[in-house]
Chains A and B, each alone.
Chain A
């Protein structure tokens, strides 16, 4: 069964460093998402991406964050200058298409745990 994959599973970085989190969505999916979950808290929406541009972003997604689909398979989240409070689990998700069909469920990757020291 196709699945969303994310690399690395765990990333440790120093405060102020740039990190890139990578995701490979399911191949025929068109909508892509990043979510964040600070330890012990709820999952929060960061950004959605469709047709090579951001569709929507939350207030969390400030200028430190950017997303890109550099080729036909990868979907990346970049944090330019990490802060301690960026430490969290980051989930990528993808969805096939719009509308009300059963295929419109978002499928989540296993997550990347980012630790900022």
Chain B
């Protein structure tokens, strides 16, 4: 069975602070994919990143960075120098090719960035 845990329900920071959103996953499959999506107040799901299980290289995209560690089954997301526009709910998700790649989402972390 696949499971994603986002233990942080809500996080509030002040603009320009760095913030890390935690994601821990469970799967018995050796091949899997991890994702982060952003859901702004408008409700759509905005794709941020996809990681394959065989690629543990960390990634940086502008102010966003992701730390994938198979040893701890974690895929954490850091926003550097946060901005008000980063305020949203962020979902971590997991899929595997063994179940047709349907996605299992975590409960989400609501990030509020105050000016």
Contacts and interface: CB of A to CB of B under 8 A. Distances in A.
Contact of B100 (A31, A91, A99, A108): A31
Interface residues of A, number: 29
Contacts of A104: 33, 101
Contacts, number: 59
Interface of A is mostly: strand
B58 to A, nearest CB: 17
Contacts of A48: 100-102
Interface of B is mostly: mixed
Contact of A31 (B37, B101, B107, B108): B101
Contacts of B105: 42-44
Given A31-B101, A50-B100, A110-B44, 12 more contacts: A31-B100, A35-B103, A42-B107, A43-B91, A43-B105, A45-B102, A48-B101, A56-B99, A58-B102, A91-B45, A95-B101, A111-B45
